[in-house]
Structure formats: C-alpha cells, structure tokens
Chain A
Amino acid sequence: MWRKLLEYGIAIVILGLLWEVAALVLHTPALPGPFEVVSQPAILFNAAMGRHFAISLWRVAASLAFGVALGLPLGLLLGRERVLDRLSAPLIFITYPIPKIVFLPILMIVLGLGNLSKITLITIIVFFQILVTARDAARAVPEESVFSIRSLGAGKWQTYRHIIFPASLPSVFTALRISTGTAIAVLFLAESFATEDGLGYLILNAWSSLNYSQMFAAILALGLMGVLIYELLELAERKMCPWAEVEQ
C-alpha cells in the first residue's frame, strides 16, 4: 500500500516536472504550468467538478459493468460451443472492426441525449472487446482440463463454472484494462456535443471560454478517474484470481 503510494508519488513528480518544463518552454496561455492549476483549489475541488466527475465515472463504470455482463458469458459460450460459434463468428468479425462511435448520432436519436445513449455506445465497445477476448480464452482451455473435470462427474454448467470461467478470467481482466482506456476516450467524444455535463463537456467548455486552468483541472480529473478504475480492477483481479498472482 505504502509502496504503491510512493510509486504514484514518483510518477506524479516526474509528470509534473515534464509538464512544468513544457509550460516554461512553450510559454503560452494554452498550457498553464502545473502549479498554476493546482494552486487554485477552487477550480479543482468544487461542487460542479464533483458533479461532472461523478457523472462521467458513472457512465464509464456502468458501461464496463454492462459490457462484461453481456460479453463475458456470450464469449465463453461461443468459445466452447462449436455450432453456435460457426453461426455467429462471421457476424462478429464483420461488426467488430467498425468504429462504434459512428453509431452515436443514431443512438442519440433513438435513446435521447442523456446518459442512456452514451452508456449504450460505450457498452457496445466494451462488449465487443470482452466478447472476443473471452471467446479466445475459452477456446484455449486445454481439453485435458475439461476431461479432468468430466471424469470427476461434472456436467456442462459445472464445467463452465469451475473450468472455463476461472481459466478465462485473467485474460478478461487484461481486456478490461484495455477497454477502460478506450471507454474513457470514447466517453470524451460522447460528452463533447449536445451535453451539459461530464468531464468531457467541462474540458471543451473551458477550452471554448479560454479558461485553460479550468480545462487542465478537468483533464487531471479525467486522469484521476482512469487511475481509480485501474486500481479497482487490480483489486478485483487480486480478489478473484489469487492464483494468477502466484505465477509471477
């Protein structure tokens, strides 16, 4: 715990230094130095910032949760059930590479401009990443493991529960970490138009009113949100896959 804080401390100092140097060199109001930003607690910690932060966090977290809840079971199923996989694989491979952001306008028309359209968009993206990863992971489970549990008398459901699911879990966590990055990037885009809340809105709003300190404060908040989600994922992984840690 202390080591982790220390590591983060060091990382923050290094980033702060780089930032400071860049600000000194460029010397433009568009890039205020780090002290200029953090020395104004009023723009970092205020009710509005808290609200924007909370709403963005909710959008990302809900999308990650829904994406996993849908993508994980379906991916595991496709990875193990040949017939189902044959039927749906072409569908997945055709739709997977399409940049899902193009659906935002449609989603906004159908689901409105509020949370629902944004969460749906990010959920779709997370869903695909988890689906594809879980499918490959379930496929890679050695047949011997399945034999082994069948010889202990396990049925289909028990095989999924005791073998396929835990064996795939570490890959799914890796995919989740990658998805988190994508999800935040897409969140920013989704919050950048026709919206009045969220960190993405705050950043663009500050930008258009040339309030650069405010803009960087919001960017810091976005970074903090990423760290928060990563650390929660890390915690969950350590809880759910204690055996994987043993490997290292």
Chain B
Amino acid sequence: MDSVKVSDLSVTYKAGGGIVEALAGLSFSIAPGETCAVIGPSGCGKSTLLYSLAGLVKQSAGRIEINGQPLTSERPETAVILQEYGLFPWKTVYANVALGLKLRHADKSSVAHQTETIMRLLNIWDYRRHFPRQISGGQRQRVAIARALTLQPTLLLMDEPFSSLDALTREDLQNTFLDIWRRDRLTTFIVTHSVEEAVFLGHKIMALSDRPAAILKIIDNPLMGDPDYRDSPQFHTTCSELRELLRQARRDVA
C-alpha cells in the first residue's frame, strides 16, 4: 500500500480572467494502509486536494510524493471516486464496472471474472444490465466503488462518496467500505461533510479552513476501524472535538 507525503502544496485555478487560490501550502503525510478523512467548508478546496493527489490537477507549488516518488501525472495504482458524474450514464452497470479493466486491455475472460467477483461482493450483480439512472443512489455508489476496486488500487481517493444517501444506506456503505479496507488495507482519502463519517472512517482527520484551504489541524483517531467504535464514548469525544474545531474556524472568519 502507498504512503503519501505532501509538502507545501498550493493549487490555483485560472477563472474569468483572474486566479482562484484553492489550496494554500498544505503539508501532511499518511502512512501505508492508513485512511485520512478530509473535512472543511463547502468550496474550500477538498475536491481540488483529491484531484491533485490523483494527478488530475497540476499543482502550482509544492510537492506530492507517493511511495517516495514525486507525482507528475495520473498513476494506474490510484483509483478515484468522484463527487458526481463518476458513472457514465450511457454504459450499463456492468460496462461501467468493467471499463477500467477494459481500458487496460486485460484479456476478456479475466475482465469478466474480476468484474463479476467485485460486483457480487458489493451486491450489485443483479443490476448488471441496468443503466445508472435505473438504480438507486446507494446502488450507484456501490457501482462506483466496484469500478474503483476492479483495478486493485493501492491508493483510493473518494470525494464525498456517501453524502447523497439516507442515513441507513450511508451506514451500510460505510460498513461495506470498512470491510473492504480491513481486507485490503488500502491507503484511502475520503472527503466528507459529515463529522460522524470523518470520525468513523478516518485514522487521521484533516480539518481544512475556508478557501484557500489550509490545514486547521490533523486529528489522530487511532480507534477507527473498531467494530463498536460508533457507540463508544471516545467516538463522541472525537466528534465533539472536531465539531468545535470547525465552529471555531468559522467564527474566526466571521
């Protein structure tokens, strides 16, 4: 699994004749097999951070190293699950999941085999002939996860993967993710708006300031992954700490 080391990362966009500063000098490092939850106000630059880690957006300053190697473009070992538009509406559920393997010219029988295995694991095999529009939001999210996993990534980047789901479906998928993580120990970044989700899924919780995003604090959350964590007092203490941190940041801005 991959280690990620970021130093002084800044990203600016050109837009409407001016420039938009999205990330302002982030530095952090994540150990192999760790999960990092990223939380912060809307529009602060969370997606931008993820795109940078994926090599999809060029950094304007700073350095990203994955396993000690500087990142210069997309790498095949990184899987990304985007906030929206992640699935292609013109492809069936099956074709969506199989696409990554197909693009890599894997041979037909191994594509079929791997795709089916992953789809059964995520309980979406029955919907293989449907189009994304014909299945529910939670099922769609499972498809997106399945597609990311087919490539056997060593770094998984997820942008608000569960945010549009109802509470029960969300918990369900969070548990599914944890099962997969326990099995594969993927290094994972997960962007979220939910304090509880951040604490439930992140070994490290990165709280970001308003745009341009800077790191307010990285909270260590060593108990993450414990099956009963959600009901433990430490869980609630950490949630309160994080919530207070975000509130404080908002007050400072106002």
A residues contacting B by CB (< 8 A) are 142, 144-145, 147-154, 158, 162-163, 166-167, 169, 241-244, 246-247
Contacts and interface: CB of A to CB of B under 8 A. Distances in A.
A243 B85 contact: no
B133 A148 contact: no
Interface of B: 51, 54, 56, 74, 76, 78-80, 82-86, 88-92, 99-100, 103-104, 131, 133-134, 147, 151
A152 B131 contact: no
Contact of A153 (B56, B82, B86, B100): B100
A162 B89 CA distance: 11
Contacts of B90: 166-167, 169, 241, 243-244
Contacts of B88: 145, 148-149, 162-163, 166
Contacts of B76: 153
Contact of A151 (B80, B84, B131): B80
B134 A144 contact: no
A147 B133 contact: no
A153 to B, nearest CB: 5
Contacts of A152: 99-100, 103, 147, 151
Contact of A147 (B56, B79, B134): B56
Contacts of B74: 150-151, 153
A147 B80 contact: yes
A162 B85 contact: no
Most buried by B among A151, A152, A244: A151
Contacts of B91: 162, 166, 243
Contacts of A147: 51, 54, 56, 80, 82
Nearest to B100: A152
Contacts of A166: 88, 90-91
B84 A144 contact: yes
A246 B80 contact: no
A152 B99 CA distance: 8
17 contacts: A144-B83, A144-B85, A144-B86, A147-B51, A147-B56, A147-B80, A148-B82, A148-B88, A149-B99, A151-B79, A151-B82, A152-B100, A162-B91, A162-B103, A163-B88, A166-B90, A243-B91
